[in-house]
Amino acid sequence: MPPLLTLLPFQHLVRQVAPHGELLRAWPLSGGVSAQVTALEVRGEGGQVETWVVRHYGEADFRHNPAVAETEFRLLQTLHAAGLPVPAPRWVVPPGELFPRSALVTAYAAGQTDFAPADRAGYAVQLADFLARLHAVRREGTDLSFLPPLRGLGERPAVPDESLDETLIRDVLEPLWPPAPVNPPAVLHGDFWPGNVLWREGRLAAVLDWEDAALGNPLADVGNARLELLFFLGPEAMEAFTRRYRELAALDFAALPLWDLCAALRPAGRLAGWGLDADAEQGLRARHHGFVRQALREVGA
């Protein structure tokens, strides 16, 4: 259990929400990169025991969206009400009351990440099913105007990552960016990859970590998911995901190679810091190279 001074804000949180409740234990949850995530086991006023999750966002999240906790809370309310498997939102803790900045409290979502599924194609199909449902939410008339717009390519770094073809990718993309808005904007997860998905008994149980959610072209999520699946599960899983998503989503896919290239910029300058062993890193670099070359051929570059 964390030191007493660390626990005090969580004890006050429990007492605010459930005056006669009791904090039984607290422990950090692993897997977050931009946020600090803590699980709380709480005994409620009626004696029932439940688990809450408190998310403290990182500096980059607040810089991009100062209202990130409120935004994620509203989005999870919408998605949970629509029946999507996401953590149930509970409260937003205002800044300055218990913590220096606002924090989000959700219900605990049970499950585990899975980077080695027995049925890779079935796994990929379930990811595509979820993403198609997510992208259809706005078409159901839901107001998502509180979401920020999808970010652009960003400025070129002073030292591009030439090991991942960053200059080449940017040279191709920048004159064509952004692609024509043929597809209506949809709610985007913003970081849809296997590390943000929980599974139980072979079924998708929950999708986590919505701090990068935005409104924009749904192909942004598709391109990112394609690359991540290629990285961690291989080309067959990537193609199974793509086929299934194409079957479900009535979109114009002509610009998908451009969004693939946009996704290929994400690991630039960062891949070496992912903590992979040399062989695993080399494997990802080889897959990235093939992914980029395929997209370049499709855009005629």
**Residues 233-247 pLDDT 10s:** 999 999 999 999 999
Q: Is 190 left (phi over 0), alpha (psi -120 to 50) or beta?
A: left
Domains annotated for the chain, with CATH where assigned, are 4-107 (3.30.200.20), 120-299 (3.90.1200.10)
Task: Give me the percent of the chain exceeding a pLDDT of 70.
Answer: 97
Strand-strand pairing, 197-200 and 203-207: antiparallel
Count other Cβ atoms within 10 Å, centred on residue 275.
7
Give the model's confidence band at 291: pLDDT under 50 very low, under 70 low, under 90 confident, else very high.
Answer: very high
pLDDT in tens, 211-225: 999 999 999 999 999
pLDDT digits (tens, 9 = 90+) for 168-207: 999 999 999 999 889 999 999 999 999 999 999 999 999 9
3-state secondary structure of 104: strand
DSSP code of 163?
Answer: G
Residues 6+ apart with CB under 8 A from 8: none
How would you list the strands of the sheet with 49-57, edge to edge?
22-28, 35-43, 49-57, 103-107, 89-93
CB 13 within 8 A of CB 6: no
Mean pLDDT of the residues in the chain: 93
Q: Give tens-digit pLDDT for 139-176.
A: 777 889 999 999 999 999 999 999 999 999 999 999 99
Q: What confidence score (pLDDT) does residue 2 get?
A: 43
- In this predicted structure, the answer to whether residue 3 has a pLDDT above a threshold of 90 is no
CB-based contacts of 209, cutoff 8 Å, min separation 6: 32, 35, 191, 196
For residue 294, pLDDT over 60 is answered with yes
